[in-house]
Copies of this chain bind each other. A is one copy, B any other.
Amino acid sequence: MGVEIERKFLLAGEAWRTLGEPVLLRQGYLSTDPDRTVRVRIEGEGATLTIKGRSEGATRGEWEYPIPLADAGELLDRLCQQPIIEKYRRRIPFAGNVWEVDEFLGANAGLMFAEIELASEDQAFDKPDWIGEEVTHDRRYFNSSLIRLPFSQW
């Protein structure tokens, strides 16, 4: 098991748009149960199956396996809850960390946020000035929640 410790923030302004190359991510869920989410993701030519446990604070257990790209396409199209999530992700290095900035498409168009992965819950880090309010603990922003209640329906 890996452990994912992640904090999530809204964005302030548009400066982040010029700072990283957008990569398309397509992801769907075989389970959106918060105790045991199962995600299928395609990013470029790679695909993964990722299992996550319940969040405790900013921490979640995580198990991830590479799967064949063709399998991931079948799972996204045929088995995952619809609609799947599509988003552009930019990876932006800042002050020794990497920020992942996600810009959503489809039913979640208009939604954008940034995440930073940490080694411990109390790890200090500097924020770029395009980082806004923290939403780590707001479940609406979970990708698995965005399937059931997309941003367009908030």
Q: Name A residues whose Cβ lies closer than 8 Å to a Cβ of B.
A: 1, 30-31, 33, 35-36, 38, 49, 51, 53, 61, 63, 65, 67, 71, 74-75, 78-81
Contacts and interface: CB of A to CB of B under 8 A. Distances in A.
Q: How many copies of this protein are present in the complex? A: 2
A79 B35 contact: yes
A78 B65 contact: no
A4 to B, nearest CB: 14
A18 to B, nearest CB: 39
Given A30-B31, A31-B30, A71-B1, A61 B79 contact: yes
Contacts of A35: 79
Contacts of A78: 53, 61
Contact of A75 (B49, B51, B75): B51
7 contacts: A31-B31, A31-B33, A31-B38, A36-B81, A49-B49, A61-B78, A61-B79
